[in-house]
Structure 1
Amino acid sequence: MARKKEMCSSENHEPGAGIVLMKLEELHSFEGHPFKVERNQELFELRCSIEKEGVLVPLLVRKNPHGDGYEIIAGHRRKEAALWAGLMEVPVIIRELDDDQSVIAMVDSNLQREKILPSEKAFAYKMRLEAMKHQGRAEADTSDPLEPKCKTELVNVSELEAELQKLGKVKIQKKGGAEGKRSNEQLASMVGESVTQIKRYIRLTHLIPKILDMVDKEILAIRSAVEISFLSEEEQYELHAVMELEQSIPNISQANRLKRMSQQKCLDMNKIYEILQEIKPNQKEQIKLPLERIGKYFPTAYTPKQQVDLIEKLLKNWAKQNVK
């Protein structure tokens, strides 16, 4: 056991030195990391696993380009779970990666997760496409990151977690056959999304946080949110205020009208009220339950749909017992 501790000593922090133990205080989050790390049920299960088995898959890090210590490329959730479990240090692999390689590795390792929020996909896809564009030495048109073609081979870090677990190292390889192919087409093929859907996700990065949070909570549909993303920041804040006051969510048709009126410079608070107060097709009378009254009774990870399903289930049980 003592020999194993010595082999994993954190004294040698040189890149390429293999697996070393590193203090948690030396590890810093990746700048602009788009994936949320929350102490929810999923992270609690990871914490329990770490308490029982330890950190089985080392974190991937590089020297922090923004200050002291090291920047986490892959393993933000493992670090948080280890901290929650009371650990002082974790195993890491140090690699020399430039900014674009680091972004690609960071995004790819997180996209393997089973559940990813729309906001996470939005910023992750945007970051990865920018990195791919840089590596491909494409035309420097930052107004639309979906357009440039990749003219050279791309560095691709694939199946990062599997590589770490199986080999204890990260394999960075050139991926051929991509010359002349647009970066968004390559990404679509990698993640199993259509190019159109990737464009939709990236448009979500133009939303204010409050409206983007509504997309994550499945209150606002992605297609409607994409249309709303074309509104100015001020218009979006006004729209959010009206949505809260009226307890009304725009459908795709209403969102499109808001977009067109914004583009025509004729959208104001009164117009927003008029549109949201319209009776939608097939709209039925609803019972509205304020979230501040019932939200505290649900697990924090529950989506609005899960909350509605649970309420319906409880009402059915109540009806069986009390209605004759």
Structure 2
Amino acid sequence: MPKAKPKEPEAQTVAAAEAVTETVQRFPLSELHPFEGHPFKVLDDDAMAETVESIRMVGIANPLIVRPDPDGGYEIISGHRRHHAAELAGLDAIPVIVRELDDDAAVIMMVDSNLQRENILPSERAKAYKMKMDALRHQGQRTDLTSPQVAAKFRADDEVGKGAGVSGDTVRRFVRLTNLIPEILDMVDEKKISMTPAVELSYLKPEEQRNFLEAMDYAQAAPSVSQAQRMKKKSQEDGCTLEDMCGIMDEAKKDDMGQIAFKTSDLQKFFPKSYTPRQMSDTILRLLEQWQRRRQRNQQR
């Protein structure tokens, strides 16, 4: 059997450098700081409380990934929640792995490591997708990474989608949310506004979006897809005023114009078993009439 060819000195040097880079070290928490523009929220919720308790009992099993900061200390690439939990647990130092990463590579690693989490808010996903897209585009523009012909065909949104297991179109829709003003983006996170109408609203100018908040408050309702689309079209044509938005939001949604339906099985527990659906319907209407009369009497007092 032929002998294995010994490594060239340069290859040995690179391998040794990588081994040193991946060495687990312990750094004081005070030397570590969050990644600039980190889009993922670190919340003091039940999951954080469980992480803190786990760290107190067994420590941190997975080291944080950090990179040297030219201004001092180390920037966290992966492990912001573990870093915060360690602070809450009262630790002085935690295990880390130091990697030499340029800005684009750091962004991509930071996003990829956090997108593995189960619960991610729409705003977090939107900002993360955009950060990774920008980093990939910047890499694609570098002549040392790709030829001009390849760069011309490169689609950063599709590449982000491949890494996240979604379509490029899904990535583009989430990235549109980064055009929303913070107040509306918070409503998307809180599920007060659905994703599809929110994407349409993202085409409104910032001032129009602020007017939309007033229109939504006026109507006391979230916009339907068709309402959001009409506001977008109006904005692109000649601008969408607060009056326009109030008029659109004041219209009854198609879904609200249909009949109200109840399952018989849901109502039967309130009536004798012998009641037919018609008897249940008559009784409900009679009770509603009594309720309305009581309201009218109370208002007249």
d(CA) in 1 for partners of 2:172, 2:135: 16
Contact conserved, 2:197 with 2:229, CA < 8 A, in 1? yes
d(CA) in 2 for partners of 1:118, 1:76: 19
Aligned to 2:250, which of 254, 258, 277? 277
Q: CA deviation at 1:151?
A: 3.9
Residue 77 (structure 1) aligns with? 81
Q: CA deviation at 1:24?
A: 1.2
Q: What is the DSSP-based 3-state SS (H/G/I as helix, E as strand, rest coil) of the residue aligned with 1:30?
A: coil
Contact conserved, 1:178 with 1:186, CA < 8 A, in 2? no
1:7-18 residue pairs with structure 2 within 5 A?
A: 16=21, 18=23
Q: CA deviation at 1:218?
A: 1.4
Q: What is the DSSP-based 3-state SS (H/G/I as helix, E as strand, rest coil) of the residue aligned with 2:76?
A: strand
Identity of aligned residues (%): 45
Residue 206 (structure 1) aligns with? 179
d(CA) in 2 for partners of 1:73, 1:125: 16
| Match status 1:22 vs 2:27 | yes
Aligned to 1:99, which of 99, 103, 110? 103
Q: More displaced, 198-207 or 126-135?
A: 126-135
Residue 38 (structure 1) aligns with? 43
Relative distance call for 1:268 and 1:178 in structure 2 (3 A) is closer
For 1:16, the aligned partner's letter is T
Aligned to 1:112, which of 113, 116, 122? 116
d(CA) in 2 for partners of 1:206, 1:130: 15
For 2:255, the aligned partner's letter is N
Residue 90 (structure 1) aligns with? 94
Q: CA deviation at 1:45?
A: 1.2
d(CA) in 2 for partners of 1:84, 1:267: 48
Relative distance call for 1:133 and 1:88 in structure 2 (3 A) is same
Relative distance call for 1:222 and 1:151 in structure 2 (3 A) is farther
| Unaligned ranges ≥5, structure 2 | 1-19, 259-266, 272-301
For 1:43, the aligned partner's letter is M
Q: CA deviation at 1:75?
A: 0.5
d(CA) in 2 for partners of 1:102, 1:138: 16
d(CA) in 1 for partners of 2:252, 2:118: 37
Contact conserved, 1:151 with 1:179, CA < 8 A, in 2? no
- TM-score norm. by structure 2 comes to 0.74
Relative distance call for 1:266 and 1:187 in structure 2 (3 A) is closer
Aligned to 1:136, which of 140, 162, 179? 140
Contact conserved, 2:158 with 2:171, CA < 8 A, in 1? no
| Match status 1:242 vs 2:246 | no
1:125-204 residue pairs with structure 2 within 5 A?
A: 125-137=129-141, 151=146, 180-204=153-177
Relative distance call for 1:270 and 1:179 in structure 2 (3 A) is closer
Relative distance call for 1:252 and 1:35 in structure 2 (3 A) is same
d(CA) in 2 for partners of 1:17, 1:226: 42
d(CA) in 2 for partners of 1:231, 1:131: 26
- Larger Rg computed on CA atoms: 2
Q: CA deviation at 1:183?
A: 2.2
Runs of 4+ with deviation above 4 angstroms: 177-181
Aligned to 2:235, which of 254, 262, 280? 262
Q: What is the DSSP-based 3-state SS (H/G/I as helix, E as strand, rest coil) of the residue aligned with 2:238?
A: coil
d(CA) in 2 for partners of 1:28, 1:202: 26
Q: CA deviation at 1:244?
A: 2.6
Q: What is the DSSP-based 3-state SS (H/G/I as helix, E as strand, rest coil) of the residue aligned with 2:256?
A: coil
For 2:181, the aligned partner's letter is I
Contact conserved, 1:123 with 1:202, CA < 8 A, in 2? yes
d(CA) in 1 for partners of 2:73, 2:249: 51
1:285-300 residue pairs with structure 2 within 5 A?
A: none
Relative distance call for 1:50 and 1:275 in structure 2 (3 A) is same
- TM-score norm. by structure 1 comes to 0.69
d(CA) in 2 for partners of 1:198, 1:283: 31
Root-mean-square deviation (CA, aligned residues, Å) is: 2.7
d(CA) in 2 for partners of 1:116, 1:282: 29
Q: More displaced, 182-191 or 234-243?
A: 182-191
